[in-house]
Amino acid sequence: MIQRIQSLYLLLITFISVFFQFGKMMKYTDDSGGILFINTRGLFMFTAENGTSQIEKLIPVTVILFIIPVISLVTIFLYRKRKLQMKFALGLIFILLILVVTLIYISLRIEVKFDAVFMPGIISFLPLLMFIFAFLAWRSIRKDEDLVKSYERLR
């Protein structure tokens, strides 16, 4: 059934990942008063003198952020094939783990390279929230599969 709780978790992951793609994912301030920020197009620096300039492109983050909502939506519609849905959910967990580790690595690199300080915001913690929802979805799919197996044993 499509109205199961894991469908809600996967739909939330889709909405959060789309929301995360727009705007500034992570912000930093450096000693010179400039503001560094990451969005889907890369790493940018904003200064009063020069305005906004792109420092580098972050292609792995961009690719991962476009893959997540696609996999999440595909996983929702695999409700008739729970084993395959469970594999897709595990893949989604793995991809979200890669995203979190990549963002942490980039964050540490920015802090060291530009002597910048991370400015935490709600949007910065959305990948962790997506990771939690992906785990909850996988767990719910597993519970459904266990329930179906127990009914088959009774037959």
Q: What is the pLDDT of residues 125-141, one digit of tens each?
A: 899 999 999 999 999 99
Token output for 107 = 């964050």
Residue 55 domain flag:
yes
The total number of structural domains in the chain stands at: 1
Q: What is the pLDDT of residues 38-64, one digit of tens each?
A: 988 889 988 878 888 888 898 989 999
Containing structural domain, residue 71: 5-150
Q: Which pLDDT band, with edges at 50, 70 and 90, does 4 fall under?
A: confident
Q: What is the pLDDT of residues 73-101, one digit of tens each?
A: 999 998 888 899 999 999 999 999 999 99
Work out whether the CA dihedral 99, 103, 104, 109 comes out positive or negative: positive
With 50 as the cut, is the pLDDT of residue 1 above it?
no
Residue 155 domain flag:
no
What is the domain-level CATH number for residue 19?
A: 1.20.140.150
Residue 38 domain flag:
yes
Q: So what's the pLDDT on residue 17?
A: 93
User: CB of 138 within 8 A of CB of 31?
Assistant: no
Q: So what's the pLDDT on residue 154?
A: 65
Residue 41 domain flag:
yes
Q: So what's the pLDDT on residue 66?
A: 93
pTM (2 decimals)? 0.87
User: CB of 3 within 8 A of CB of 17?
Assistant: no
With 90 as the cut, is the pLDDT of residue 149 above it?
no
Q: So what's the pLDDT on residue 33?
A: 79
Q: How far is CA 135 from CA 3, 49, 65, 90, in A?
A: 18, 45, 18, 8
